[in-house]
């Protein structure tokens, strides 16, 4: 079964490609390499180009004729989306509409879409289930929620079947040590903390300790990238079985504060990891924790690396051995 993976050279997409190939499927990658890395594409052909370029994506679909598309490509930084909303609407919404048009022209009727907990905005309750109100508070979250709504309309009108997977905080690295997280600039807590432990940064900034949480720092639901990818594989099987379009929240259902993450990283790395308290970062909700029972029940999803020390441990191996392929 041929699967086209957009953004397959990026952090989560590259882990997905490796898992698809290991599962006997035939992934092919589309990536413009604006954020992704050529070195991250293992076991799959890479088509370099922009998903929003209709002529390009038409040619790729004509050549590959995939049974399904997994759409990871997009812009992912909340803060940047506040400063440059046009980029988010163009890369996340307009480009996805171009992809959907091309899929329609080529008769590709199944899509697994990378969505986000950011579609829920400031939660009115945690844990956050699928029925929680969708009220995104930044252009990043709005662009993803608009795509989710467009996908529902594309199902009603054109029969396009989709599964939207709302990631909470993706973290960790390939347990085999081949792949890992590599953002430029890096903004995510766990890789930044580990860069302190490896000596690449002097300290970790804590963005606020006056939130309404147990220790005053923000609480997040960290989910191992491998567990996320396994949920995608199950979503693909769900669609292949002819099931209805839907969305699932993906997290472990357990929140860790910024301070708990730093403490765990000290335990895993043996490094003191100096911290510096800073002002709150704009747009950070105090607590985001998933209620992922639906994915467990409907897809049979069973996270295998839910333990925070395991997640950090895999990311630490990657930081020590590869760190964006810049070091031997
Ligand atoms: N944090 C720090 N110091 C840092 C970096 C982060 O204290 O140097 C804090 C943040 O303020 C936040 C927590 O650590 O409270 C996690 O921050 P991340 O940047 O790692 O992750 P976010 O929760 O902000 O965002 C992630 C994804 C988004 C997605 C969101 C949805 O990056 O794409 O989860 O939950 F929208």
Whether 324 shows a pLDDT value over 90: the answer reads no
What CA dihedral angle connects 67, 5, 162 and 115, to 10 degrees? 170
For residue 256 and ligand 1, the question of a CB distance below 6 A is answered with no
Name the residue at shortest CA distance from atom 10 of ligand 1.
Answer: 207
This complex has an ipTM of: 0.96
- Across-strand partners of 70? 5, 112
Are 158 and 260 contained in the same domain? no
pTM: 0.97
> What is the residue range of 298's domain?
189-220+253-325
Q: What is the pLDDT of residues 193-237, one digit of tens each?
A: 999 999 999 999 999 999 999 999 999 999 999 999 999 999 999
Are 155 and 195 contained in the same domain? no
Residue 22 CA, ligand 1 centroid: distance in Å: 30
CATH of the domain at 117: 3.40.50.720
Alpha helix (H) residue ranges in 108-176: 139-158
d(CA 57, CA 32): 11
Is there a cis peptide before residue 185, judged by omega within 30 degrees of 0? yes
Are 163 and 308 contained in the same domain? no
Of 28-37, 225-234, 295-304, 316-325, minimum mean pLDDT range? 316-325
Whether 328 shows a pLDDT value over 50: the answer reads no
Name the residue at shortest CA distance from atom 25 of ligand 1.
Answer: 169
Residue 100 CA, ligand 1 centroid: distance in Å: 30
Are 37 and 160 contained in the same domain? yes
Are 292 and 236 contained in the same domain? no
Angle between helices 139-158 and 95-106 (to 10 degrees): 20
Q: Which helix (H) or strand (E) holds 202?
A: none
140 is catalytic: yes
What CA dihedral angle connects 23, 27, 32 and 38, to 10 degrees? 60
For residue 117 and ligand 1, the question of a CB distance below 6 A is answered with yes
pLDDT confidence of residue 326: 62
Residue 230 CA, ligand 1 centroid: distance in Å: 23
Of 60-69, 238-247, 262-271, 279-288, minimum mean pLDDT range? 279-288
Structural domain tally of the chain? 2
CATH of the domain at 293: 3.90.25.10
Q: Tell me which of 11, 88, 140, 211 is the catalytic residue.
A: 140
In a domain, 178, yes or no: no
């Amino acid at each position: 079964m041929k699967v086209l993976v957009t953004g397959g050279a990026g952090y989560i997409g590259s882990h997905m490609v490796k898992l698809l190939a290991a599962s006997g499927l035939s992934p092919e990658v589309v990536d413009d390499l604006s954020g992704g890395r050529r070195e991250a594409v293992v076991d799959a052909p890479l088509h370099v180009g922009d998903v929003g370029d209709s002529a390009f994506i038409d040619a790729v679909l004509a050549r590959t004729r995939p049974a399904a598309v997994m759409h990871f490509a997009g812009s992912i930084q909340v803060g940047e989306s506040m400063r440059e909303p046009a980029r988010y609407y163009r890369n996340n919404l307009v480009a996805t509409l171009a992809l959907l048009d091309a899929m329609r022209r080529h008769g590709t009727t199944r899509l697994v879409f990378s969505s986000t907990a950011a579609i829920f905005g400031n939660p009115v309750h945690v844990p956050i289930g699928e029925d929680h109100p969708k009220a995104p508070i930044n252009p990043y979250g709005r662009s993803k929620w608009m795509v989710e709504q467009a996908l529902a309309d594309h199902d009603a009108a054109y029969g396009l079947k989709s599964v939207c997977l709302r990631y909470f905080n993706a973290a960790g690295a390939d347990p085999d040590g081949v792949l890992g997280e590599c953002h430029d600039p890096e903004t995510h807590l766990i890789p930044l903390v580990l860069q302190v432990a490896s000596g690449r940064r002097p300290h970790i900034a804590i963005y606020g300790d006056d939130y309404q949480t147990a220790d005053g720092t923000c609480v997040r639901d960290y989910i191992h990238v491998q567990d996320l990818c396994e949920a995608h594989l199950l979503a693909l099987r769900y669609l292949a079985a002819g099931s209805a379009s839907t969305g699932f929240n993906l997290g472990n259902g357990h929140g860790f504060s910024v301070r708990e993450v730093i403490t765990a990283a000290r335990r895993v790395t043996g490094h003191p990891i100096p911290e510096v308290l800073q002002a709150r970062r704009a747009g950070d909700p105090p607590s985001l924790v998933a209620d992922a029972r639906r994915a467990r029940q409907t897809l049979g999803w069973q996270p295998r690396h839910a333990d925070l020390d395991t997640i950090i441990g895999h990311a630490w191996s990657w930081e020590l051995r590869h760190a964006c392929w810049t070091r031997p």
